[in-house]
Copies of this chain bind each other. A is one copy, B any other.
């Protein structure tokens, strides 16, 4: 029973314990809150639901991303936020990286380093390597720390050749060095004036000089679901609902992981596209959510 317009909220809500919300296009658009969202979140909490807010944005830590919610008047705890910066730290924790005594080299912004600090994993690179230049004169080289055991790559507006060469040397020359990507998003929304080259840009650059594919920790990798299901002891994943505005990421991600899915039309997908009255965007063909809503406000009963 796919693509059912949610008219009776209980039909979805009654069977769900955990809601995972994509943020942009679902809770807000750029700097504008989508009407009714605070009320909906209040109601879900009052009904005993557990809420997560997921973003592939790796430039902020969970604590840093919380200020985005606060600025829009949404009261959310850092623990409810699942950023891809946190996902990288959670992955390294799950795989007991700390026991290796190794360090992480970061291509990315402070969200990643802040999350690594919180789990006590030593790191280098990141913001400190903005503006660095490699010595390319005769006999010149970039010296790498031989204790690097993983390279984490996320969106980095200060990407430069020094960082790419550092990552190349770690991944090509240090045995066992892991390659971790926070996300593979082609474009991102730095400003509302245009789309911007996303974290997939920096990750691909590192693939391009190493021939290696990364371990992906952000959407659409299943890591987040595994983490949440394990932490909350959820064995029936159909009691988790993914709510998003994108068919090819949010809804595909939910369906691939056995979750219930709900598309909101408040973002990039139109009802005509969802219902195949106009051609689908490339990559979204055949992907159907169980339910859809105009905005999250449809989670509230009409009465």
Is there a chain B Cβ closer than 8 Å to A66's Cβ? no
Interface size of A as a range: 35 or more
What are 11 of the A-B contact pairs (CB < 8 Å)? A136-B190, A137-B191, A138-B191, A156-B161, A157-B161, A164-B197, A168-B196, A197-B208, A200-B208, A201-B205, A205-B205
Q: How far is the CA of A273 from the CA of B203 in the complex (A)?
A: 33
B residues within 8 A CB of A200? 208-209
Closest to A143 in B: B194
Is there a chain B Cβ closer than 8 Å to A126's Cβ? no
Convert A163-203 into 0s and 1s, putting 1 for each residue whose CB lies closer than 8 angstroms to a CB of B: 01101110010000000000010110011111111101111
What DSSP secondary structure best describes chain A's contact surface?
A: mixed
Is there a chain B Cβ closer than 8 Å to A2's Cβ? no
Convert A198-226 into 0s and 1s, putting 1 for each residue whose CB lies closer than 8 angstroms to a CB of B: 10111111111111000000000000000
Instruction: Evaluate contact between B197 and A141: CB separation under 8 angstroms.
Output: no
Closest to A191 in B: B140
Instruction: Evaluate contact between A157 and B136: CB separation under 8 angstroms.
Output: yes
A182 to chain B, nearest CB (A): 13
Closest to A282 in B: B211
A21 to chain B, nearest CB (A): 24
Is there a chain B Cβ closer than 8 Å to A48's Cβ? no
Instruction: Evaluate contact between B205 and A136: CB separation under 8 angstroms.
Output: no
